[in-house]
Amino acid sequence: MYGLMVRFTCKDEDAAASFDELVARTGEQIRTNEPGTVVYTVHRVDGRPLERIFYELYRDVTAFEEHEAQHYVREFLATRERFLVSTQVDRLDFVSGKGVPDEH
């Protein structure tokens, strides 16, 4: 299991709305085309309307690399910066959990 937690801060409300549209388009492709992506969730942060948190779990590093190579993910990565003021990425080393395979 390989994971990421990413915090994005949008420039303003219009940028946040555009970012959310980009996320929705990309997320549909991820759901349809990526069996190695176990969890890919996007959250608004309560009380901070310009922040989004992504929580991503992949079967393994190879599945993550396959995710990153997809044309729709490359488009997301190239487009997102116009809407953002900051991006923070934490790479996660899975220990255990509920609702996902308990394996490394």
**Count of structural domains within the chain:** 1
How confident is the model over 53-82, as pLDDT tens digits? 999 999 999 999 999 999 999 999 999 999
Model confidence over 38-58: pLDDT tens digits? Answer: 999 999 999 999 999 999 999
pLDDT at 9 over 70: yes
Q: Are 5 and 63 in contact (CB under 8 A)?
A: no
User: Tell me, what's the pLDDT at 93?
Assistant: 87
DSSP code of residue 83: G
User: What residue type is 30 in one-letter code?
Assistant: I
Position 29 pLDDT exceeds 60: yes
- Is pTM beyond 0.85? Reply is yes
Cβ neighbors of 65 (< 8 A, separation 6 or more) are none
34 assigned to some structural domain: yes
User: In this structure, is residue 38 part of a structural domain?
Assistant: yes
- On the question of pLDDT at 102 being above 90, the answer is no
Q: Is the pLDDT of residue 103 over 60?
A: no
Question: Does 99 reside within a domain?
Answer: no
Say how many CA atoms lie within 13 Å of 87 toward its Cβ. Answer: 11
Q: Is 17 within the bounds of a domain?
A: yes
Instruction: Give the confidence band of 100 by pLDDT, cuts at 50, 70, 90.
Output: confident
**What is the model's pLDDT at position 104?**
47
Residue 57 sits in a domain of what CATH number? 3.30.70.100
Q: H/E element holding 68?
A: helix 61-69
Q: Cα 76–77–81 angle (5° rounding)?
A: 100
Question: Which pLDDT belongs to residue 94?
Answer: 84
Domain of 36, in residue numbers = 2-91
Residue 68 lies in a domain: yes
Which residues are 55's β-sheet partners?
5, 41
Nearest to 56 by CA among 11, 23, 18: 23
